[in-house]
Amino acid sequence: MDERVALHKVSVAEADLVEAIVADCVPELICHLAAQIDVRASVSQPSADAQANVVGTINVLEAARSIDARVLFCSTGGALYGRDAPIPSLEDVLPLPESPYGVAKHCAEQYVMLYNRLHGTGHTVLRLANVYGPRQDPAGEAGVVAIFCAQVVAGERPTIFGDGRQTRDYVYIGDAVRALLAAADRGRPGIWNIGSGVEVSVLELARVISEVAGRPVDPLFAPPRRGELLRSALASERAARDLGWAATTPLPAGVARVYRWIEAGAPERADW
């Protein structure tokens, strides 16, 4: 880690610690990416999910308000819009989440926008598609690209929950970082989708990994999981217009970077 970076490992649910760290650093901008991200965990433990994703966001907003800092909040796209949303989904589609995780993220967004109205702040919400890339934990609670790549590298058969026709919108980490930088530079309050606008099924993702690996991928199939959406893709024309941002990394190129990174032993640093 760069010696200029101070690391504090605390939970955003701990209001006093968050406020103390923010008061000590006095940042102009807080990029709020902390979250409970496992949809299955949110279904089994909705209270804990809300504590992290709703109360944690309020704590960040209050800490930011105490020093007059802006907040750039990373929300979700797919889990927010729901099963009946048009594909790709626009920002003004009525959110109808299918999981406690999606409900909590929507609630957190409402607090961000409330603070803009109530306190005159200029906070920003980015609704991210499924972000993937090197350094994503292959053994983590989420991140199907890294999980599948690690299983294929190890000679294992990846598990697909459901029939594999469910779709997601995948955005490479380098593109996501550019979106955060663009939003930070513009300093505009509001909500923007950050995605490719392209639906990719789990079966198609397995095929892409197979091509990258140069060998067949024969997945196992398991029952579908509760709370998971069947289709998702985000329309990002508003981000292109307002933030000058668009996804530029093709899925095969991004997946290849993840696969080679894991194949090389998942080094500490990765070329994003």
Catalytic site includes residue 172: no
Tell me: the pLDDT tens digits for 239-271? 999 999 999 999 999 999 999 999 998 655 444
Q: Does 183 fall in a domain?
A: yes
pLDDT confidence tier of residue 217, bands split at 50, 70 and 90: very high
Give the pLDDT of residue 271.
Answer: 47
Q: Does 270 fall in a domain?
A: no
Q: Does 5 fall in a domain?
A: no
The enclosing domain of 245 has a CATH number of 3.40.50.720
> Per the residue annotation, which of 81, 101, 115, 172 is the catalytic one?
101
Per the structure, how many domains does the chain have? 1
Q: Does 173 fall in a domain?
A: yes
Q: Does 160 fall in a domain?
A: yes
Q: Does 40 fall in a domain?
A: yes
Q: Does 3 fall in a domain?
A: no
Cβ contact 197:88 at 8 Å: yes
- 139 or 192, which is more confident? 192
Show the domain range for 176. Answer: 15-263
Give the pLDDT of residue 89.
Answer: 96
- 30 or 84, which is more confident? 30
Give the pLDDT of residue 267.
Answer: 55
Look at the pTM and tell me if it is higher than 0.85: yes
pLDDT confidence tier of residue 3, bands split at 50, 70 and 90: confident
Q: Does 164 fall in a domain?
A: yes
